[in-house]
């Protein structure tokens, strides 16, 4: 007989949500995290979108672990000298708070405590070496030569899913399917943040993603900036494939270039760096056939469940929903065959936005990491805006002529522009 019904590896949003759901069904659960306290090794840009957490913690929005709810959302292209931005603000964000900024070091520790309060055995500061297996069946986990057994293991260990890879149940990802995220938390007074970002109160926040179209060396990167109560989370997500090819540009240099940009530096003025961190980011999703097997299920970043279409970066909501789906699959099939359990996990995910989004936006990374998005579009947008808004005493040009002249200057043929637009519409 196994020592636990379920062992969950990783106390991030996926793992803790799964553990809480399992405990609510009276399952005997062990939640293991390598950080002490849980969350201290986790990195996130910091926006929790949606109400998925309400499935396991109904009053989660009353938590003091939330920083600010997002009332202003931006999408910005940066060139060396310019900023071309869409800044969307709406009073409707106050009616339905669809996004909250969070600091994962605090948020994950709070979530793990909720799991403990629900009856989960939480063990922190312990690194699982690999899965215990009998043939091809997972029977538990191994740490420092000791084995702890369980009917099922849920792997929620994050993007760098070392346990799954070392245990031979997951292939090592290639560079095209991974990026590296680098983040800093910069301390600033609450009032300064509220005024600097033109927010209507200290409870309301700003979130923006950026295309860093000014980088040299052929490296493509996106940026993000989110406001917390008394700090700003700022970071860059950089193509691993480009970094490897370049071999001269470093991720920490890119975030510095982002911070020093003439339209970013004033937002950070007088701030103090409080935290610096980096981690891998899955970019292309994962096949549903790779997220379960005999004795285990994989959830969250470890399963490749993140979403990015250039306008929004999301991951925590996908992690929570997949963790709950894994827990529900175990609860509904306890005493049944493992095949029934994993079939239910797959079918449940297919009914949620998790796998639907993975399928709908399959291949979107080919657009979001394209030369067109990172180089041509920012350069053309800058050229067009300068032509429209500059006054030099010359007769004004028709917009269509401005666009075509900019395309010619940036070596864009009309056919290529149409093809790029088609790809964007199809993938995004």
**DSSP state string for 366-384:** HHHTSHIIIIIHHHHHHHH
pLDDT in tens, 18-35: 999 999 999 999 999 999
Ranges of residues in the chain with a pLDDT under 50 are: none
CATH of range 176-282; options 3.30.9.90, 3.40.640.10, 3.90.1010.10, 3.20.20.10: 3.30.9.90
Q: Which residues neighbour 91 within 8 Å (Cβ) at sequence distance 6 or greater?
A: none
- Whole-structure pTM over 0.85, yes or no? yes
Give residue 167's Cα distance to chain centre. 25
Domain extent listing, the chain: 4-65+102-172+286-362, 176-282, 370-427
- pLDDT value at residue 210: 95
Question: Distance (Å, rounded) from C-alpha 187 to C-alpha 195?
Answer: 15
- pLDDT value at residue 227: 98
- pLDDT value at residue 412: 63
What distances in angstroms separate CA 315 from CA 46, 123, 159, 200, one per listed residue?
Answer: 10, 24, 11, 27
- pLDDT value at residue 235: 95
Q: What CATH superfamily classification does 4-65+102-172+286-362 receive?
A: FAD/NAD(P)-binding domain (3.50.50.60)
Buried b (16+ CB within 10 A) or exposed e, 233-250: bbbbbbbbbbbeeeeebe
**Which helix (H) or strand (E) covers residue 275, if one does?**
strand 272-282
β-strand pairing of 4-9 with 313-314: unpaired
pLDDT in tens, 242-294: 888 888 788 889 999 999 999 999 999 999 999 998 888 887 555 555 789 99
């Amino acid at each position: 007989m196994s020592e636990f019904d379920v062992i969950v590896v990783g106390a991030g949003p996926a793992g803790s949500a799964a553990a809480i759901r399992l405990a609510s069904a009276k399952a005997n659960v062990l939640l293991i995290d390598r950080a002490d306290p849980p969350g201290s090794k986790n990195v996130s840009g910091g926006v929790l979108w949606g109400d998925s957490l309400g499935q396991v913690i109904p009053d989660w929005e009353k938590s003091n672990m939330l920083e600010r709810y997002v009332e202003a959302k931006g999408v910005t292209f940066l060139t060396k000298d310019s900023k071309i931005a869409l800044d969307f603000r709406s009073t409707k964000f106050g009616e339905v708070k669809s996004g909250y900024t969070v600091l994962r070091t605090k948020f994950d520790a709070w979530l793990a405590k909720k799991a403990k309060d629900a009856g989960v055995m939480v063990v922190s500061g312990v690194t699982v070496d690999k899965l215990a297996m009998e043939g091809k069946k997972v029977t538990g986990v191994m740490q420092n030569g000791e084995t702890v057994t369980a009917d099922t293991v849920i792997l929620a260990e994050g993007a760098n899913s070392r346990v799954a890879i070392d245990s031979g149940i997951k292939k090592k990802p290639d560079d095209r399917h991974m990026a590296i995220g680098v983040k800093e938390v910069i301390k600033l007074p609450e009032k300064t943040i509220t005024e600097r970002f033109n927010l209507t109160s200290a409870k309301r926040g700003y979130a923006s993603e950026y295309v860093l179209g000014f980088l040299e060396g052929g490296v493509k990167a996106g940026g993000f900036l989110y406001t917390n109560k008394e700090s700003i989370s700022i970071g860059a997500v950089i193509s691993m494939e480009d970094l490897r090819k370049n071999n001269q540009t470093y991720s920490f240099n890119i975030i510095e270039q982002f911070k020093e940009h003439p339209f970013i530096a004033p937002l950070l003025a007088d701030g103090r760096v409080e935290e610096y961190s980096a981690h891998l980011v899955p970019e292309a999703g994962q096949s549903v056939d790779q997220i379960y097997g005999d004795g285990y299920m994989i959830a969250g970043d470890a399963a490749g469940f993140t979403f990015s279409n250039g306008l929004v970066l999301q991951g925590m909501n996908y992690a929570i929903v997949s963790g709950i789906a894994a827990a529900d699959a175990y609860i509904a099939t306890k005493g049944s065959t493992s095949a029934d359990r994993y079939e239910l996990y797959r079918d449940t995910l297919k009914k949620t936005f998790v796998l639907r989004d993975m399928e709908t936006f399959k291949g979107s990374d080919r657009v979001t990491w394209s030369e067109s998005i990172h180089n041509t579009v920012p350069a053309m947008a800058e050229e067009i805006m300068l032509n429209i808004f500059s006054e030099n005493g010359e007769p004004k040009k028709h917009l269509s002529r401005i666009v075509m002249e900019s395309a010619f200057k940036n070596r864009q043929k009309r056919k290529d522009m149409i093809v790029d637009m088609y790809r964007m519409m199809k993938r995004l």
